[in-house]
Amino acid sequence: MRLRNIKGAKETVLKSSYVIENPNLYYGNWEVCFSNQNPIHVEIGMGKGRFIIENAIRYPNINFVGIEKYNSVLVKAIQQLEGKNLPNLKIISMDAKEIEQIFNQEIDTIYLNFSDPWPKKRHAKRRLTSTDFLEKYEQIFKNKKHIIIKTDNRNLFEYSITSCSCFGYHIKEISLDLYQEGRNDNIPTEYEIKFSNKGYPIYRMEIEK
């Protein structure tokens, strides 16, 4: 699906106090950006921001960084942040393939929510759970590697299980239908609400290394 270009989106995004325009300046020193040494959690592909904003509200002692490639999508997140004061939230507009240039052994958890499945085999390296990306994550994790994945795409989920397992991750938790479990700690994304309301199963996996 092609994203509709929103005129002035980049300018609007960069005006936000939540957005870090030159994130590479904090490479290896994100505790300065947040002015504390709290754990840092990153969501790659934050979309319109519902998930990470709610996390930042619910968990003030965790620092959150949202990464999104498209400014036309980030504008929606910026709108949601109007009137909120969340010093534990920062946003970066960038392509995730450069993530190892932004963080250096500083991240505690990565969230991959409803990532692009890139279904064609020739595009497999673009999947956020491909070996190429897992190698990048190795460079940014602080100690234990911890990834939480949610998707409605079974093929991507199965691929991720295989890819991550072969890379040395073990499964801590797994769900083949998240909404049948009645969890009360789940924070849904915009896509998640849309797909679950249509009756699609939501797959979730928490892995560690």
DSSP 93-113: ES-GGGGGGT-SS-BSEEEEE
d(CA 12, CA 78): 8
For residue 8, give the 3-state DSSP assignment: coil
pLDDT tens readout for residues 58-72: 999 999 999 999 888
For residue 64, give the 3-state DSSP assignment: strand
- Record the pTM: 0.94
**Annotated catalytic sites, by residue?**
116
pLDDT tens readout for residues 171-200: 999 999 999 987 889 999 999 999 999 999
Q: State the helix-helix crossing angle for 50-58 and 71-80, rounded to 10 degrees.
A: 40
Q: Is the pLDDT of residue 1 over 50?
A: no
Amino acid at 125: K
For residue 200, give the 3-state DSSP assignment: coil
d(CA 195, CA 40): 28
In contact, 169 and 120? CB cutoff 8 Å: no
pLDDT tens readout for residues 74-114: 999 999 998 899 999 999 999 999 999 999 999 999 999 99
Name the average pLDDT for the chain.
93
| C-alpha closest to that of 59 among 24, 30, 88 | 88
d(CA 95, CA 70): 9
